[in-house]
Structure 1
């Protein structure tokens, strides 16, 4: 299989495998960003993939826990997850739905399975907030699968959660502080996806089904499921489906280039701000 690209195409500069981990009340997942193998990619702090038909791997969910200073993005592929917070917000995320939560100055929330059997599958992403937004009021953007536009590009089917597609279609989520792009790409065998990216945006592919090829510095690089491919500089990106096709996320955003003080569920700019977050939580100020 050949992979056509030119000198403006972004090359893969690193490939890492996801690491098995658990979070919440024992939910088993694969950590693609924020692991020992792959640290944060500014402004992306962490990316977890969860996927299991065994209820024991997910039934404990994520009971009440606090957040401050960043955003969480939950994108469901299968199953149902109920979310709740102490500011009166609640709902259920189903297959194909997305919840983009701005924790801002702080909230306490939970994410619990709405099922006790069957497949539970999806992603959770953490995106840093700039200093000016860290103490803003919490906010939500939630969209059902039917509200997320899809572009059919020959051998590629692209769900546009955030950002602008090749035909000018815009995703429903707005993330102006980092100008985020969030695509879910389904490739037929040999199908090619191509997408321009803004200059200076950090980006990566997170492959979660099948296999694919992407341009590298010295030729095509083969990518397997549950691997993360970090993109270098350039004008656009390409990805070509392997023999059984592929599914992958493409994420990109403008780096913040700010200091990060990260402790558990709080992400601030200085250690003093981080300690204040813990103190505010202990005093019930969330």
Structure 2
């Protein structure tokens, strides 16, 4: 079985989004090795001033977003009438499709806020589908293993330590596997993914060894091709596994819109300005 090795390590960088929300971001809109993912934002703070403005109503077209909270709440409202409050340990998925207008408000829990928003690209043939939304509270996220070596699977299918694993999120527009691995020092885990999937990791805590190479906190890892992902925690570690079928299509990104051409971006802007983005 071919072992996936480290292809590239990218350090996340400080940024701001929404109404001045402070985040750490890693992105690859024009990097085929990121595909089908586009970006991951980490929200982590003990200071309400870092995020108090939240993300006021704004549009999207052509992407899916996956929000996952380790600690804290995340309130969602959209033009379809969906209202959801994501709590610690839960996830929410939104497919913008042809158009969505939504707002998001992060809220601390016990003085802490820690979560992620992941952008997933959509194939051109599905970008103009109607928008969708679903949330999964913590009890719905499937867990495998014990506290010292725990795999929480949010979406998709894989085989971990010889056991089939799956998450509740299955309706994404492209096949993905998304999971959260938490491990104490010395613990290891093997995950077998389809060989046609690309695989990436985001280390949000500690230090992990991947095929002999050490990767530290706040780094995004692009992995080589292969079938098996082998991980060993050098200290108490947490990381996200982001894997899926790559989308071999042009990517044109402008603010909240991700399409396949500039003409499509201009159409999205026009539709939003004319109030018909979501029609």
Distance 2:238 2:147 in 1: 15
Give the match's secondary structure for 2:275.
coil
Equivalent position SS for 1:63: strand
Deviations 1:144-193, CA, capped at 9 Å, x for gaps: 10011100079521001012242223210014532100010011211001
Indicate which of 227, 248, 256 corresponds to 1:235: 227
Indicate the residue corresponding to 1:266 in structure 2: 257
The RMSD of aligned alpha carbons is 1.9
Q: What are the residue-to-residue correspondences of 1:114-193 with 2, within 5 Å?
A: 114-115=107-108, 118-152=111-145, 156-164=149-157, 165-166=159-160, 167-175=163-171, 177-193=173-189
Whether 2:4 is the aligned partner of 1:10: answer yes
1:226 aligns with 2:227: no
Residue aligned with 2:264, SS: helix
Query: 2: distance between equivalents of 1:69 and 1:27?
Result: 23
Change in Cα spacing, 1:154 to 1:96, as seen in structure 2 (3 Å) is closer
Contact 1:205–1:248 (8 Å) recurs in 2: yes
* Equivalent residue runs for 1:1-286 within 5 Å: 8-34=2-28, 41-115=34-108, 118-152=111-145, 156-164=149-157, 165-166=159-160, 167-175=163-171, 177-215=173-211, 220-242=212-234, 244-285=235-276, 286=278
- Partners of 1:71 and 1:125 in 2: CA distance: 8
CA contact (8 A) 2:3 2:227 kept: yes
The equivalent residue for 1:4 is: none
Are the aligned partners of 1:50 and 1:120 in contact in 2 as well (CA < 8 Å)? yes
Distance of 2:171 and 2:90 partners within structure 1: 17
How far apart are the structure 2 equivalents of 1:191 and 1:11?
19
Which consecutive segments of 4 or more residues in structure 1 shift more than 6 A? none
TM superposition score normalised by structure 2: 0.93
Between the aligned partners of 2:106 and 2:204, the Cα distance in structure 1 is 21
